[in-house]
Amino acid sequence: MARKIALLIGVGEYGNGLKPLRCPANGVNAMQELLENPEIGGFDQVVPLINPDVGTMQARIGEVFGQLSKNDLVLFYFTGHGIKDMSGNFYLSTTQTQLFKSGSLNPGTAVAADFVKRVIRGSYAQRKVVILDCCFASAFAEGITGMDDNSIDVENQLGGKGWCVMTASKSTRYALEQEGEDLSVYTRYLVDGIRTGGAASDEQERIYIKDLHSYVQTQVKAAAPAMEPAIFNGLDGTKIAIAKIQVDSLQRYRKQVQRKVRNGRIRPAALANLKQQQIRLRVSDEDAAAILEEVLKPYREKAKHLETYKQALIAEKEFAYPLDDEAIEELEELKRQLNLRDEDVRATEKEILGDGLKQQLTQPPDVSPAPAPKVKPVKTTKAQKYQSRRTRQRSGA
């Protein structure tokens, strides 16, 4: 009989050199609640693991994947710091993970992605889903996506028909957490898509991986444009159903709202149409307002971040203008913390500074060559003149 098993790992406490995170434990708990719910995930076994050391993490990964049979579905979820070493090798952090004073990773304190991939390859399960909510997560897929090459036997090495890797971002410059939120940006919309059924296609009673990724990608890009959620081997993984939903009046109304909201805006006529849908589906005003608020949340989050950046820019201009290198560096850091791209803040910068900041950021350094030192002419002695004349005579010049 086929089973559904999940291993959920969250790491928020670390050794020296890494910033602690408050959200990973919450992410594991939220995912566990959804997957164990018989009306949503319906998983037979969910294994939560919070702040493990290296040995415990490796042992539990080996244990879960080692017990799988051919017809099983396994979901591996990790949230925490992802780290690359100086050679570009990717690691999942543990509670022991530490960086040397030089900033390089102590590799003995983290779990190498190669170890995880070997275990996954050795599993008999035909349906495998990996979800990584961490920096550099796309690096994990490098060794796996390579299995699509014709020279590699995908069926034998992966042991199955369907697998995929979902990652929080292809970008390495983004913030995992946002102030005031209990869940990381990526996990927040991952959970919302499953909990509300917003990730399901119209009238579908199941949430498939492709649809879940599409939903999360749309929401994350709206709230935090600097992030780039990605899916690897998503074509094969589209047939994997991760959860089920109840297609009822609330679900149908939610789908109508998702269609009407465009770029964070909803037209007056669209609101009027939604009101008619609300009446037809017998959705209460309270439920309708809550659904609209949930759908608009990522867009409002971005607007809030843009306002934070705008106020910081105004304050810096009042503090000192033109902006110096330190101010520009701090503003760049703020953009990263708010998960904003240069193009997201361009209109704000032009409004506050005109083209001033652009000129400062694009002004090439003064690299004009220094004037050549004057060289005093060397006086020619009589002996040298004589020798030169004799040489010309001999050569017939």
- 67-107 pLDDT per residue, tens: 999 999 999 999 999 888 888 888 999 999 999 988 899 99
The rounded percent of the chain whose pLDDT value lies above 70 is 81
Contact between 163 and 128 (Cβ < 8 Å): yes
Rounded to whole angstroms, the Cα distance separating 351 from 353 reads 6
Count of C-beta atoms within a 10 Å radius of residue 394: 8
Q: Where are the domains of the chain?
A: 4-246, 299-362
In the structure, what pLDDT confidence band is assigned to residue 132 with cuts at 50, 70 and 90?
Answer: very high
Rounded to whole angstroms, the Cα distance separating 288 from 249 reads 11
b/e 186-218 (16+ beta carbons within 10 angstroms → b): bbbbbbbbbbbbbbbeeebeebbbbbbbbbbbb
Position with higher pLDDT, 211 vs 151: 211
> pLDDT tens digit string along 258-310?
999 998 999 999 999 999 999 999 999 999 999 999 999 999 999 999 999 99
pLDDT at position 315 is 95
The radius of gyration of the chain's CA atoms, rounded to the nearest angstrom, is: 29
> pLDDT tens digit string along 321-363?
999 999 999 999 999 999 999 999 999 999 999 875 555 554 4
Task: Provide the mean pLDDT of the chain.
Answer: 84
In the structure, what pLDDT confidence band is assigned to residue 130 with cuts at 50, 70 and 90?
Answer: very high
pLDDT at position 281 is 95
Rounded to whole angstroms, the Cα distance separating 280 from 274 reads 10
Position with higher pLDDT, 384 vs 6: 6
> pLDDT tens digit string along 17-28?
888 999 999 999
Indicate the pTM of the whole model: 0.82
Position with higher pLDDT, 201 vs 360: 201
Q: 4-246 sits in which CATH class?
A: alpha beta
pLDDT at position 375 is 52
Q: By mean pLDDT, which of 153-157, 369-373, 377-381 is the weakest?
A: 153-157
